Structure 1
Amino acid sequence: MIGKHIRHLKRYREIVSVLVKYGFGYLVKDVGLFHLLSLPKQIAADLSGNGKEQRSLGQRIRLMLEELGPTFIKLGQLLSLRTDILPEQIADELRNLQDQVTPVNVESIKQIIAEEFGAPVEEVFARFDDSCIAAASMGQAHHAQLKSGEEVAVKIRRPDIESIVANDIEILWDLASLVDKRYEWARTYQVLDLVEEFSTAVHKELDYTREARNTKKLYSFFSDNDQVVIPKVYDDYSSARVLTLDYINGYKVQDLIEHTPAGIDKTTLCEWLVRSFLDQALIFGIFHGDPHPGNLFFFSGNKIGYIDFGQVGYLNETMKRDFGDLIIGLMKGNTDLLVRTLSVMTDIPDDLNERQFKTDLDALREKYYMLPFKKVHIGKVVHDIFEVTKKHRIGIPKNYTLLGKSLITLEGIITQLDCEISILELAEPYGHKLLIHRLNLTDLTKKLFMNSYDVVDNSIHLPSLLRKTLTHLNKGKTRVEMKLPQLEFLLAKVDRAANRISFSIMLLSFSIILACIILGEAFGARSLISNIPILGIAVTIVLFMFMIVLLSIFRSGRF
C-alpha cells in the first residue's frame, strides 16, 4: 500500500482534495488518508459530511466524479444502473453525468491512426476531417471518406487513456479496500465486487474490437428490417484503438421535440423504437445498453438508427423466460411466481426474512394487479422492484439492471416526444411469444431428454460418490465449512485488542527492565564489568526488540 501511495502520490492528493471539497472529508479521515492534505487544507476541511454548498448529496457526488475525470465519470455511469443498492435520487443524478470533454489535438489522433495502420492518415483515407463530430472521455469520432467512396465515422481512443484508467483503477482498489475494512455498509453492498465489475467493464469498453463484434451481431440481426439502421463495420480500417463504421446522420430527439419533420409520425416512431429494442432484448438476447438520445438517430419513414455499441446487455433463454415470469407474476397477481422468479434471478442473502419479503411482494402485486397496461409505467415498475430487493439486500445481476435502466431511458424519450404509448402494452405480445416458445413440444422434448440424461448420469455416478464420501468419513478426512456472518469483523476486533494488550505489556516490561538496570548501576558493586556500558547496550537491545514488535503490530493494520 505504501509503495502505491508513493507511486501515485500526486493523484492520491488530487482525489483526496476533491473528496474534501465536496463534503466527504470525514470519509478521508476515517480511512486514514487525511495526512495527504496540506496543513492549510486540513485546517479548512469540512468534516461534517454536509458540504459547504447547498447542494443535494446526489449533486455533490455527480460534480465530484466529473471533476475527478474520465475513469470516475464511467464509474458514476455504472453506479447509475445500480438502483438496487443506491437511492433513486442519487442514481437519477448520476444519469446526468456529462461525458463531453475537450477534443484531443487532431495531430495526436492522426498519430494513433498511423501507428495502427502503418501509414499516414492521407494514405489510409481519401478524406479525414480535422474537426471531431463527438468527443467523450474515452475516445472521439471524426467524419472521413474511404478511398472506395463510403462516408464513415472513425472512432479513435484518446492517447494514454489506458495508463490513466489503469492508475485510477489501482487507486480505486486501494480506496475500496480501506472503506471495506472501515465501514459495515461497504461490506454489505460489496464495494470490492463493484470495483471489480467496473474494472472489467471499462477495460472492455477500451477494446474497440469488442464493440465491433457487438455492432456486427446487431447489424446481422436487423439486416432484413428496413425500419432499423445499424452501422456497418469496416474491418480493414478497424483495430483495438480505432473503429470505422458507416456514417449515420439523421434527426435527433431534440429535433423531433422542436418540430415534426416531414415523413415522421411520432407515435409510430415511438412504437418502432420500443419494438426494435424489445426485439434486441427478448428475441435476439443482445441489446443496446445505453439508448440515450445521443446514441439514436431518426429518419423519414419512421426509421430508427442506433450507434455506439460499447455497452451491451445479454439475456440468455433462461433470463428472458425469468424476466417474462416477473412481469406475468406482477400483472396476474401471483406472489408465489414472483418469489420463485426473484429467487432464481437474483442473489438471495442467507439471512433473508422470507416472511417479510413475501409480504412486500404482496404489496407490490396489489399495486399493479389487474391494472391496464396503458396505465402502468415501466420506470415505476422497475423502481418498485428494485426498492424491494434493496430493502432485503438482494443482489441483482448486471444484465437485469442494465435492461431496467435502458427501458427507463426509452420511456423518458417517449415522454419527451409526447407519445402516449405503454412499453408494457407493446411488450405483452413478446410475453405470449416466450410462453408459446416455452410450451413448444420440440423444446419440451429436448429439455425432458436432457433432464433424463442428467438423472441417469448422476445415478450412475452416485454409488462411487457415496463410497468416496463414506471412506472419507471413516478416515476422518471430511472437512466441514461453516460460514459465520461478521466473523472476520469480530476477529479483527479481537486481534486489535490483543495487539494493544501486547503493546502495553511490552511497554511495561521495557519500563521494569530499564528501572532494574538503572538501580543496578546506581547501587551495585563496582567490578571489571562495570567499565562496560551495560546500560546503553541493554537499552539499545530492548529498544530494538520493542520496535520490531511495534512495527509488526502496525503493519498488521489492527492497532
Structure 2
Amino acid sequence: MFKNIATLFRLIAIARVLARHDALAALEEQRLVPGRLAAIAIWSGRRLSKRNVKGRPGQKLAAALTELGPTFIKLGQFLSTRADLLGDQLAADLSHLQDQLPPFDGAEAKKIIESELDGDLDQLFLSFDPTPISAASIAQVHFAETLEGEPVAVKILRPGVEKSFRKDLKLFYSLATLLEKARPSLQRFKLHEVVSTFHDTVRLEMDLRMEAAGACELGDNFKGDFTYDTPDIDWERTAKRVLTMSRIEGISLDDRDALIAAGHDLEEILTTAAAIFFNQVFRDGFFHGDQHPGNMFVGDDGRIVAVDFGIMGRVDKTTRYFLADMLIALLQKDYLKLAQAHVTAGMIPANQSVETFAQALRSVCQPIMGKDLSSFSFAKMLGQMLHLAESFDMIIQPHLLLLQKNMVMAEGISRGLDESLNLWTISQPLVEEWVVKNRGPEARIKEGLSTLTDSIETLPRLITNLETASEMFSQKGLRLHSKTIQDFHQESSGTAKWAFIVAIASFTFSIGFAVNFIFFYS
C-alpha cells in the first residue's frame, strides 16, 4: 500500500497534528478514518491534544491543515467544494481556510528573480520592496517599479514548494487507495480522480506562466467591456517562478462600508458582478476559479478588477447546455425533465429509476423554488441535491466542482453586500436570454442544420473514397493478404468458408450499391 516506511511515518505525523487540534472527530464523523490502520496514530496523538480546543469540527480541521503546510491548505480549500463527502458545515468551514503563511525572506525572493529572469535585480527593476504585501502557500507578492517607471506587482513562487507538493501528492494518492479499500462505499466519489484533479490544478498553479496566460485570455474575452478588467502582464519580466503584472488599486468587493463611503451603488456593483460571472461561465466557458473577495476589487470608476489567476476553470459547450437544461427544468418546476438531464449528462446511472429520482429532486427543490427569488439560496439547494448522491449512486463530476464552489462564493458576496438583493434574481434576465438563444426551438433547429451541414461537407470525401474503392475493385478485384487466405483455408470449416464468401459478396454489393446510389442522386 505504502511505498516506503517514510511515507507511513509521515501518515502518523499527520494524524498526530490532526489529533493535537482535536480535528480527527470531523473525519471520524464522516467515516473517513480507517480505524485499524490509524488507531495507533490517533491514540498517541490524542494524548498530545491541546486542552479545551474550541470551535466546530471544521474549524479545528482548518487549523490543523494550516499547521501541516502549503499542500494541506490547498487541499482543504479544494475539499471545501465536496459537501457531498464532508457534509455542509464541514465544507463551509473549510471554505474559510485562509491561504496565508509567514513570508519568506526578501533576499531569497531577489535570488529567485535573478535566477529566473537571468539578470541582476537592478537591471530589471528601478525599485523593489523586499517586504511582501501578501504571502500565501504557493507564492508571495512584492511591489516594484520597472525601469520605465511603471508600478507593478511581482509574484514569486515559494522556494521548495514544488518538491513539497510532489511528496505530499504521492501520499494523497496512497490515502485515496487506502480509503477506498477501507470504505468501499467511497469508491463512487472517485477519490483518485479527485486527487488527480487537485494535482492538475496545483501543477498549473505552480507555473506562473500559466497564470499569466490565464489572465491574458480572460482579459481578451472582455476586451471592450469596461465593466471588468485584469492586470496587464509584463512578459519580459515573467518566467515559471516569477510573474510581473501591472499594479491595480481598488476596494475589496466584500468591504460594504468602504464601497458605500466611496459613493458606489451596491445594486449596480452586484448587477455588474452577476453579468461578469454569467458571461465567463456561459458565454466564454472560461472563468476565474477562485473568485473570493480577496481577489476581487472595485475601482474608482466602478469597474470590477480581478487578480490571482492561478486557478481557472473551463466549461465545455456540452456541460453549458446541460446546465441550461437544468435551469429550464428548475424554472418550469419540471422535475422529471431535471432528472432526465442528470441521466443524459451521465450523473445518474441508467439502472436508477428516473421517476423516483425526479421525486427526490422535487423534495429538495420544491421548498426552495416555492420561495420568492430574493430569498432563493443556490448554495442550500446545491448542498441538498448532493446529499441525494448516496441513495442514487450519483456520479460526482470533478470538472463541475470548481464551478459549484464559485457559484457558492458568488452568492456569499451578494448576500454580504445586500441581503435584499440576490445574485440569481439579478442574473435571471441574462439566463433566460442565453437559454432562449442557445437552447430554445430556433437554436435547436440551427444546431440540427449545423450538424446536417457538417455531414454534407463530408459527402464529397465519402464519394471520392467510394469511387476509389469501386475502381480498385473493378480493376484488381478484392485482394486479401496471402497469410489471411492461407489461415482461412487451414482453419475454417465448410460452414465458416461459406459464411465468409457470403460476407465478401455482401461487402462487394454494398460498395456497388452505394456508388450507384450516389451517382444516381447527384
TM range (shorter): 0.7 to 0.9
SS at match of 1:84: helix
Task: Report the Cα offset of residue 323 of structure 1.
Answer: 0.8
Change (3 A) 1:153 1:344: farther
Provide, for residues 422-475 of structure 1, a one-character-per-residue CA deviation record: whole Å limited to 9, x for no partner. Answer: 3223333333223223424554311234468899999x99xxxxxxxxx99x99
Bigger mean CA offset, 113-122 vs 356-365: 356-365
Q: Distance in 1 between matches of 2:326 and 2:456?
A: 28
Q: Distance in 2 between matches of 1:184 and 1:18?
A: 26
Q: Distance in 2 between matches of 1:158 and 1:198?
A: 19
Alignment-derived partner of residue 448 in structure 2: 444
Provide, for residues 369-410 of structure 1, a one-character-per-residue CA deviation record: whole Å limited to 9, x for no partner. Answer: 575533423323333332334542312323433222212212
Q: Distance in 1 between matches of 2:418 and 2:125?
A: 42
Task: Report the Cα offset of residue 78 of structure 1.
Answer: 0.9
Q: Distance in 2 between matches of 1:9 and 1:369?
A: 49
Alignment-derived partner of residue 203 in structure 1: 203
Provide, for residues 468-492 of structure 1, a one-character-per-residue CA deviation record: whole Å limited to 9, x for no partner. Answer: xxx99x99xxxxxxxxxxxxxxxxx
SS at match of 2:137: coil
Contact 2:23 2:57 in 1 (8 A): no
Task: Report the Cα offset of residue 239 of structure 1.
Answer: 1.2
Of 35, 48, 57, which residue of structure 2 is paired with 1:30?
Answer: 35
Task: Report the Cα offset of residue 44 of structure 1.
Answer: 3.4
Provide, for residues 489-533 of structure 1, a one-character-per-residue CA deviation record: whole Å limited to 9, x for no partner. Answer: xxxxxxxxxxxxxxxxxxxxxxxxxxxxxxxxxxxxxxxxxxxxx
Change (3 A) 1:383 1:130: same
Q: Distance in 1 between matches of 2:15 and 2:368?
A: 46
Task: Report the Cα offset of residue 329 of structure 1.
Answer: 0.3
Change (3 A) 1:29 1:436: closer
Bigger mean CA offset, 292-301 vs 185-194: 185-194
Change (3 A) 1:9 1:398: closer
Change (3 A) 1:184 1:223: same
SS at match of 1:132: coil
Structure 2 matches for 1:417-456, cutoff 5 A? 417-418=417-418, 420-431=420-431, 432-438=433-439, 439-440=442-443, 442-450=446-454
Q: Distance in 2 between matches of 1:56 and 1:296?
A: 28
Normalised by the length of structure 2, the TM-score is 0.79
Q: Distance in 2 between matches of 1:255 and 1:368?
A: 29
Provide, for residues 48-78 of structure 1, a one-character-per-residue CA deviation record: whole Å limited to 9, x for no partner. Answer: xxx9846433233222222211101111111
Change (3 A) 1:29 1:313: closer
SS at match of 2:261: coil
Q: Distance in 2 between matches of 1:317 and 1:370?
A: 30
Q: Distance in 1 between matches of 2:54 and 2:329?
A: 43
Change (3 A) 1:347 1:433: closer
Q: Distance in 1 between matches of 2:145 and 2:245?
A: 11
Change (3 A) 1:345 1:31: farther
Larger radius of gyration: 1
Normalised by the length of structure 1, the TM-score is 0.74
Alignment-derived partner of residue 367 in structure 2: 367
Q: Distance in 2 between matches of 1:98 and 1:117?
A: 30
Alignment-derived partner of residue 159 in structure 1: 159
Q: Distance in 1 between matches of 2:371 and 2:46?
A: 58
Alignment-derived partner of residue 16 in structure 1: 15
Contact 1:31 1:179 in 2 (8 A): no
Alignment-derived partner of residue 518 in structure 2: none
Q: Distance in 1 between matches of 2:46 and 2:261?
A: 59
Change (3 A) 1:42 1:148: closer
The letter for the 1-side match of 2:452 is L
Alignment-derived partner of residue 303 in structure 2: 303
Q: Distance in 1 between matches of 2:188 and 2:280?
A: 34
Change (3 A) 1:182 1:56: same
- Report the identity percentage: 27
SS at match of 2:328: helix
Contact 2:343 2:349 in 1 (8 A): no
Alignment-derived partner of residue 546 in structure 1: none
Q: Distance in 1 between matches of 2:85 and 2:3?
A: 33
Structure 2 matches for 1:171-190, cutoff 5 A? 171-190=171-190
Change (3 A) 1:186 1:256: same
Structure 1, unpaired ranges of 5+: 462-470, 476-559
Contact 1:282 1:430 in 2 (8 A): no
The letter for the 1-side match of 2:123 is E
2:151 maps to 1:147: no
SS at match of 2:324: helix
Change (3 A) 1:97 1:43: closer
Change (3 A) 1:314 1:55: same
Change (3 A) 1:361 1:259: closer
Q: Distance in 1 between matches of 2:300 and 2:174?
A: 52
Alignment-derived partner of residue 509 in structure 1: none
Structure 2 matches for 1:2-401, cutoff 5 A? 4-6=4-6, 8=7, 11-21=10-20, 22=22, 24=24, 30=35, 32=37, 41=44, 44=47, 53=53, 55-253=55-253, 255-258=255-258, 260-349=260-349, 352-367=352-367, 372-401=372-401
Contact 1:377 1:423 in 2 (8 A): no
Structure 2, unpaired ranges of 5+: 467-490, 497-522
Q: Distance in 2 between matches of 1:419 and 1:85?
A: 29
Alignment-derived partner of residue 464 in structure 1: none
The letter for the 2-side match of 1:409 is M
Change (3 A) 1:368 1:56: closer
Q: Distance in 2 between matches of 1:419 and 1:272?
A: 17
Change (3 A) 1:56 1:455: farther
Contact 1:331 1:368 in 2 (8 A): no
Change (3 A) 1:331 1:130: same
Contact 1:146 1:152 in 2 (8 A): yes
The letter for the 2-side match of 1:44 is R
